[in-house]
Amino acid sequence: MPVLGRRNAGLANDAGKHWGQDVSFGQIGLTDSALCCLIGPRAPPLRIERPGGRYHVTARGNDRKAIFRDDTDHFHFLELLSELGERFGAGVHAYALMDKHYHLMLQTPEANLSRSMHRLKAD
């Protein structure tokens, strides 16, 4: 069982145990399945954006399903990708498009990667 890692300044609770002691989730009645429901999926860490930043960006379909069904989807995505330079000043240095995901190497003159990617993924 995971162990709670936080310690307090040795204050005693009603059961006579000190708050500074390590307590496992099982000792307080939480099972692994209940713990997963409480914690849930975690968001990825925030990306630091800076002017002139270079980024490797990836995106994958839900449940690893295809995001590009045919050449029409590929061409539409490439059109949207070409608009990033015009609308946001982003430079596309390289890209790789697969059926289920893609990789981009981008550079942004302003710290605007999030806005650029939102535009790309929204359409």
Mean pLDDT of 83-94: 90
What is the C-alpha separation between 80 and 73, in angstroms, rounded? Answer: 11
Express each pLDDT in 35-47 by its tens digit: 555 555 666 667 6
Tokens encoding 97: 């498009």
pLDDT at position 8: 44
Lowest mean pLDDT among 18-27, 57-66, 94-103: 18-27
Lowest mean pLDDT among 34-43, 46-55, 89-98, 102-111: 34-43
Mean pLDDT of 110-118: 85
Q: Find residue 32's DSSP bridge partners.
A: none
Greater model confidence, 36 or 121: 121
Task: Tell if the pTM clears 0.85, that is, is over it.
Answer: no
> What confidence category does residue 64 fall into, taking pLDDT thresholds of 50, 70 and 90?
confident
pLDDT over 60 (residue 30):
no
For β-strands 53-60 and 91-97, DSSP reports them as: unpaired
Per-state percent for the chain, helix, strand, coil, to nearest 5: 35, 20, 45
State phi, psi for 24 to the nearest 5 degrees: -85, 160
According to CATH, the superfamily of the domain at 53-122 is: Transposase IS200-like (3.30.70.1290)
Q: Could you tell me where in the chain the CATH 3.30.70.1290 domains are found?
A: 53-122
